[in-house]
Amino acid sequence: LAVDPAFKGRGIASKLVKWGTDRADGDGLPAYLESTPAAVGVYERLGFKVQRRLSV
């Protein structure tokens, strides 16, 4: 997921993730994601929890 820098800070990423998780919930599907360290806070605010951290 990426948002044009000119539009960052407007909640666009949060709305896109919420749309996807709402859709998954409605279809009875689990949802998971992989994130960069910089984006973890966005996903935690949306209810995701860190399960495991990996470094490559």
- The 10s digit of each residue's pLDDT in 6-42 is 998 999 988 998 999 999 999 999 988 898 898 898 8
From the list 47, 16, 48, the residue with the least C-alpha distance to 32 is 48
**Quick one: pLDDT at residue 32?**
85
**Quick one: pLDDT at residue 46?**
87
CA separation for the pair 29, 37 (Å, rounded): 25
Is residue 1 pLDDT above 90, yes or no?
A: no
**Quick one: pLDDT at residue 6?**
95
CA separation for the pair 10, 5 (Å, rounded): 10
Is residue 56 pLDDT above 90, yes or no?
A: no
**Quick one: pLDDT at residue 2?**
85
